[in-house]
Amino acid sequence: MSVAGLVAGLIALSAPVAYAAETTLKDPSGDNAGPGLDLLSANIQNDDYTMTTSVDYRVHRSGTTIVGLKARDRGVLRVVNQHDTGGPDRTLLLDKDGRIACDGPLAVWNGNKAQLTLSVPSTCLWQGNYGAVRPWVLTEGLNSGSDIDFLTTDGWIARG
């Protein structure tokens, strides 16, 4: 083996790799408190550059989905998607004082799969200065504020 080949191999092995720490939360079908978005599961990925949450529902309906994120010594932020099957969506990032200005929270709905994917650049979350998060997911009626379904964990998701 040539010296150049050996050096290239060592460089490839030592290069930093971004990865996502993730968890999946499960919820029984039909346990919702009323008509609306019945949660089945949520997969949360906490990587170096983006926080991504994919939420699966029993049926695609209008409603509000809130993904809460608590970071150690940083407080709680909420990613909120107000989804109207007959109209436009609204996606916000909120802290205890209200809306956080941020370019980048993105919501993508797949109505056929009854699935929502929310992604937020990590720079929008505590200015990118955070590590592990403890998530929860809540659904509410669209414009009603009535709690429909809830998922949570006691565990922390490390940042990748």
pLDDT tens-digit series, residues 119-143? 999 999 999 999 999 999 999 999 8
**What is the mean pLDDT for each group of 10 consecutive residues in the chain (160 residues)?**
42 44 94 92 96 97 96 94 93 95 92 97 95 96 90 92
Report the alpha-carbon distance of residue 55 to residue 14 in Å, rounded. 35
Q: Evaluate if pTM is beyond 0.95.
A: no
Contact 70, 51 (CB under 8 A): no
Q: What are the structural domains of the chain?
A: 19-152 (2.60.40.1190)
Q: How many CA atoms lie within 13 A of 72 on its CB side?
A: 8
**Per-residue pLDDT reduced to its tens digit, 20-34:** 599 999 999 999 988
Question: Among 46, 40, 86, 45, which residue's Cα sits nearest to residue 65?
Answer: 40
Residue 106: C-alpha distances to residues 80, 82, 97, 133, 138 (Å): 10, 12, 21, 19, 18
Name the DSSP class of 123. Answer: G
What is the per-residue pLDDT for 20? 56
Contact 136, 150 (CB under 8 A): yes
